[in-house]
Amino acid sequence: QVQLVESGGGSVQAGGSLRLSCEGSGYMDSRARMSWFRQAPGKEREGVAIIFTDSSTTFYADSVKGRFTISQDKAKNTVYLEMNSLKAEDTAMYYCATRLGRLDGHWTDPSQYNYWGQGTQVTVSS
Q: Across all residues in the chain, what is the average pLDDT?
A: 94
- Residue 101 pLDDT > 80: no
Rounded Cα distance, 113 and 101, in Å:
10
pLDDT digits (tens, 9 = 90+) for 67-79: 999 999 999 999 9
Band (pLDDT 50/70/90 cuts) for residue 103 is: confident
- Residue 18 pLDDT > 90: yes
- Residue 29 pLDDT > 90: no
CA distances from 43 to 40, 46, 58, 85, 106 (A): 5, 8, 24, 22, 19
- Say what the pLDDT of residue 53 is: 87
Band (pLDDT 50/70/90 cuts) for residue 22 is: very high
Band (pLDDT 50/70/90 cuts) for residue 4 is: very high
- Residue 82 pLDDT > 90: yes
CA distance between the termini of the chain? 40
- Residue 1 pLDDT > 90: no
